């Protein structure tokens, strides 16, 4: 499933040069984006970057100031929310407290004038879908947070919209339940074969649920890619820093060419050699970005002369159970982090505080970023 790699595939939801202003504030800035049918797409970014505004324009709660939002080729501008084939699930769930689970799910169907027998069948189908059959008669206050979340989900799916819009849907759940629910959501999305658009500021959540992620900053999209590409090939310091843990070291390009570049790295005090086409000029400022798990730590210099290597001293070790993060201070004063997987019991550490160590990484271990 990767329609974004198919040049003939047509987007299902399309933003064409969309700008949204509130007074003189620009919340969404000339943004274009295509989301495909059956895709689970995440809008990710810090608070205020415009992701909710973008989603609300699909739902019809906001209209673009300029540009167009299309669904299945049809321009949505001017169509009221209730006539759009979309449904939005809010973080607050917005369940009716005086109604039972059953009535909450049936509410929209009744309003639409669906025949009674059809409503009964549909509500039962939805209750089964979210595994809440035994809870039909309960009121929202008699449910756990996770169950309320599932009622809200069932209610948003009851009308079988073409697109489900999820606004921070798991924000109210604790970490463990959140992680479980993320898998339930992806499972549900695949079983229904629907298009899901989720807004979140939680990078782990976006990585877990989404087929593709758009990372946003101040009304613009900085990068659109799969979770693995976003993580391994961030296109900027902004994305590199926003997603996961990363070492970012400043330098200047000393050589660029097909399949390789060299960076005189102020941070490491050494030349960093990368296997990457860098579209910039010799002399340009750039940054070397490498994930801690791509940096190997050892007590002796690496034997392979083709790897990048620098030496330093261990000044901190963070034990996280599955991994330990070594903070190594280099002669330049910079700190580089290296992660070790704790596959064996580390009662006595092979590498410990104040050890003189070598850090090494392969040419394709990290990336050079020019912005
Ligand atoms: P959050 O995660 O905090 O909801 P967000 O990325 O979803 O953030 P938006 O809700 O899209 O951000 O808001 C983007 C910007 O637009 C914010 O600065 C917000 O204050 C502003 N904004 C949103 N709606 C309105 C409105 N109705 N009137 C004025 N400003 C608004």
Rounded Cα gap, residues 315 and 294, in angstroms: 19
Sheet holding 74-75, edge to edge: 25-35, 13-22, 66-71, 74-75
Q: How far apart are CA 172 and CA 8, in angstroms?
A: 40
Candidates 169, 200, 191, 163; CA nearest to 89 is: 169
Q: Is 342 within 8 Å of 253 (Cβ atoms)?
A: no
- The 10s digit of each residue's pLDDT in 335-351 is 999 998 887 665 556 88
- Given this model, what pLDDT does residue 342 score? 84
Task: Kindly state if the Cβ of 357 falls inside 6 Å of ligand 1.
Answer: no
Sequence length of the chain is 371
Give the position, in ligand 1's atom list, of the atom nearest the Cα of 53.
11
53 lines ligand 1 (CB under 6 A): yes
Spatial contact of 166 and 194, defined as CB atoms under 8 Å apart: no
For ligand 1, say whether the CB of 49 is within 6 Å of any of its atoms: yes
Q: Which atom of ligand 1 is nearest to the CA of 49?
A: 6
Given the CA of residue 199, which atom of ligand 1 is nearest to it?
7
Report CA(169)–ligand 1 centroid distance (Å): 17
Residue whose pair of structure tokens reads 């090939």 in the numeric block:
233
Q: Are 132 and 138 in contact (CB under 8 A)?
A: no
| Cβ contact 35:62 at 8 Å | no
- Domain chopping of the chain, boundaries: 3-238, 245-369
* pLDDT score of 347: 55
Q: How far is the CA of 122 from the centre of ligand 1 (A)?
A: 35
The answer to whether the CB of 223 falls within 8 A of the CB of 235 is yes
Q: Is the CB of 52 under 6 A from ligand 1?
A: yes
Structure tokens at 337: 């982090």
User: What spacing in Å lies between the alpha carbon of 55 and ligand 1's midpoint?
Assistant: 11
Cα(93)–Cα(69) distance, integer angstroms:
25
The overall longest dimension of the chain from CA atoms, in Å, is 76
Place of tokens 């613009």: 220
- Edge-to-edge strand list for the sheet holding 247-257: 270-274, 260-265, 247-257, 285-290, 367-369
* Residues 90, 342: Cα–Cα separation, whole Å: 40
Distance of CA 249 to the CA centre of its chain: 24
Is it true that 3-238 and 245-369 share their CATH fold? no
Of 33, 82, 40, 84, whose CA–CA distance to 58 is shortest?
A: 84
Decide: helix, strand or coil at residue 208.
helix
Please give the ipTM for the structure prediction.
0.92
* Ligand 1 pocket member 51 (CB < 6 A): yes
Any idea which architecture 3-238 has in CATH?
Answer: 3-Layer(aba) Sandwich (3.40)
> Is any atom of ligand 1 closer than 6 Å to the C-beta of 45?
yes
Mutate to test the pocket of ligand 1, among 15, 19, 21, 50 (most ligand atoms within 8 A of CB): 50
For residues 371 and 369, what is the distance between their CA atoms, to the nearest angstrom? 6
- pLDDT at res. 107: 92
Q: What residue's CA is closest to ligand 1, atom 5?
A: 48
How far is residue 203's CA from residue 231's CA, in Å, rounded to a whole number?
10
CATH (residue range 245-369): 2.40.50.100
Query: Residue by residue, what is the 3-state secondary structure of 150-161?
Result: HHHHHHHHCCCC
Kindly write down the DSSP assignment for every residue of 108-152, as one continuous string. HHHHTT--HHHHHHHHHHHHHHTT-GGGTT--GGGS-HHHHHHHH
CB-ligand 1 contact for 200 (6 Å cutoff) = no
Q: Are 249 and 330 in contact (CB under 8 A)?
A: no
Q: Whose CA is nearest to atom 27 of ligand 1?
A: 22
* Low pLDDT (below 50) residues in the chain: none
């Amino acid at each position: 499933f990767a329609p974004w790699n198919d040049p003939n595939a047509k987007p299902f939801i399309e933003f064409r040069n969309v700008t949204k202003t509130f007074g003189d504030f620009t919340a969404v800035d000339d943004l274009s984006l295509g989301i495909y049918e059956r895709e689970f797409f995440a809008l990710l970014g810090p608070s205020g970057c415009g992701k909710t505004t973008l989603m609300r324009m699909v739902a019809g709660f906001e209209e673009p100031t300029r540009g167009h939002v299309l669904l299945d080729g049809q321009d949505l501008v001017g169509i009221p929310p209730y006539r759009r084939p979309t449904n939005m699930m809010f973080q607050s769930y917005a369940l009716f407290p005086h109604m039972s689970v059953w009535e909450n799910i049936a509410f929209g169907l009744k309003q639409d004038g669906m025949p009674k027998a059809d409503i009964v069948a549909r509500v039962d189908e939805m209750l089964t879908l979210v595994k809440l059959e035994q809870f039909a008669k309960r009121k929202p206050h008699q449910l756990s947070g996770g169950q309320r979340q599932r009622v809200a989900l069932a209610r948003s799916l009851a009308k079988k919209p073409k697109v489900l819009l999820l606004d921070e849907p798991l924000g109210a759940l604790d970490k463990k339940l959140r992680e479980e629910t993320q898998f339930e959501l992806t499972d549900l999305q695949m079983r229904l074969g629907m298009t899901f658009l989720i807004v979140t500021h939680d990078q782990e959540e976006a990585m877990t649920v989404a087929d593709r992620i758009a990372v946003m900053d101040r009304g613009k999209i900085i990068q659109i890619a799969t979770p693995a590409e976003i993580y391994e090939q961030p296109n900027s310091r902004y994305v590199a820093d926003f997603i996961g843990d990363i070492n970012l070291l400043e330098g200047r390009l000393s050589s660029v060419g097909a399949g390789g570049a060299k960076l005189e790295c102020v941070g490491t005090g050494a030349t960093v050699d990368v296997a990457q086409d860098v579209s910039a000029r010799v002399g340009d400022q750039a940054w070397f970005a490498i994930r801690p798990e791509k940096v190997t730590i050892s007590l002796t210099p690496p034997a392979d002369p083709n790897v990048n290597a620098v030496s330093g001293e261990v000044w901190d070790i963070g034990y996280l159970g599955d991994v330990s993060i070594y903070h190594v201070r280099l002669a330049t004063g910079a700190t580089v982090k290296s992660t070790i997987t704790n596959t064996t019991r580390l009662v006595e550490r092979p590498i410990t505080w104040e050890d003189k160590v070598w850090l090494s990484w392969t040419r394709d271990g990290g990336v050079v970023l020019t912005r």
